[in-house]
Amino acid sequence: MTGMSEVLVLGATSMVGSHFVKYGNLRCSVIGQDDPRRAGLSVERFERVDLDDRVALLQALDRSAEPVIVNFAAKTNVDLVERERPPMGASPSGTAWTVNALAPELIAAQARSSGRLFVQISTDFVFDGRGGPYSETDPRSELSPGLSWYGWTKSEGERRARDAYPATVLVRIAYPYRSGFSSKTDVARWIVERSMEGSLPPLYADQQISPTWIPDVTAAVVRIVRSGRRGTFHVASPLITSPFEFGTELLRWVSGHHAEAVPGLFPVDGTDPTRAPRPRCGGLRTHATEGAGFHLTSWKDGARALAREEGWVR
């Protein structure tokens, strides 16, 4: 223990968390499987822990003393996680359940007993997308065949963390994208890369999304850490769009040879058994978060900023 770091981060190597560690300008210690220093991140201390191992997680939390814990860690591959869905009524099990639902509960309980601030990163997938966009106070969806198992495990992570420690801060994000991260392809880079390869499929024109510019997440979490603010925050584009509209805007900024976006229709649930259900009429409303003074980037401004940072600009 260094006693110097300000924040204990879980999921520091993640697409979203690594931006916070790199640009948040806070001294971070890290619990996780992969050493973030191998990805070029500068951290005060790293402790290797598999979040599937509750005893190891609890011991690592007990050894730490940072006044704030931020949890970005999750099993995020929605289609892979779907394979862990138990039959309706059976007890949940599997890594996604442990990492996404049980670990936040355990972290929250430890944060409460040690008097620390706990920030849990969550997702618009806690809503089934039948009546979005959703506000910060809308109730999470019930478990149903129309809600992905990923969405349910994250929803249970939120609920259990709040039950264990009502002061837990929830930060929900949606379809996050950023520049300068090659280990995982986000929605924006996927569209641009597929378009450049000439293999871009039709993009859904009838799906509502509110993509999150990842630098906004870093700024929001830093603000929460510094102010000790509590509540539920939606860090996402304040304007709703569709994958087709977002893709069209992104490709407007791309120089060189590439295919234009063409509109497609969101698949009817169940037509592709390898694909987990996703919210169709989704998206996050951000009025309360903006009202609390958080700056959020609209999808158009984010597309332009991404293109500039990636050097795609015409």
Of the two residues 44 and 50, which places its CB atom closer to ligand NAP in the complex? 50
Q: Alpha-carbon distance 11 to 14, whole Å?
A: 5
By Cβ distance, which residue is nearest to ligand NAP? 14
CA-to-CA dists, residue 80 to 38, 92, 276, angstroms: 26, 15, 8
Q: Alpha-carbon distance 15 to 184, whole Å?
A: 7
Q: Give the chain's length.
A: 314
Of the two residues 13 and 208, which places its CB atom closer to ligand NAP in the complex? 13
Of the two residues 99 and 224, which places its CB atom closer to ligand NAP in the complex? 99
Of the two residues 154 and 285, which places its CB atom closer to ligand NAP in the complex? 154
Of the two residues 178 and 258, which places its CB atom closer to ligand NAP in the complex? 178
- Residue 116's closest CA among 162, 178, 185, 66? 66
Question: Smallest distance, Å, CB 132 to ligand NAP?
Answer: 14
Question: Smallest distance, Å, CB 255 to ligand NAP?
Answer: 27
Question: Smallest distance, Å, CB 247 to ligand NAP?
Answer: 16
What does the binding site for ligand NAP look like in residue numbers (CB under 6 A)?
A: 11, 13-17, 32-34, 50-52, 72-76, 99, 121, 123, 154, 173-176, 184
Question: Smallest distance, Å, CB 245 to ligand NAP?
Answer: 18
Q: Alpha-carbon distance 117 to 127, whole Å?
A: 25
Give the helix ranges, DSSP H, for the chain.
Answer: 15-23, 54-63, 78-82, 95-96, 103-113, 149-164, 187-197, 214-227, 243-252, 287-291, 299-310
Question: Smallest distance, Å, CB 134 to ligand NAP?
Answer: 13
172: phi then psi, degrees, rounded to nearest 5:
-95, 140
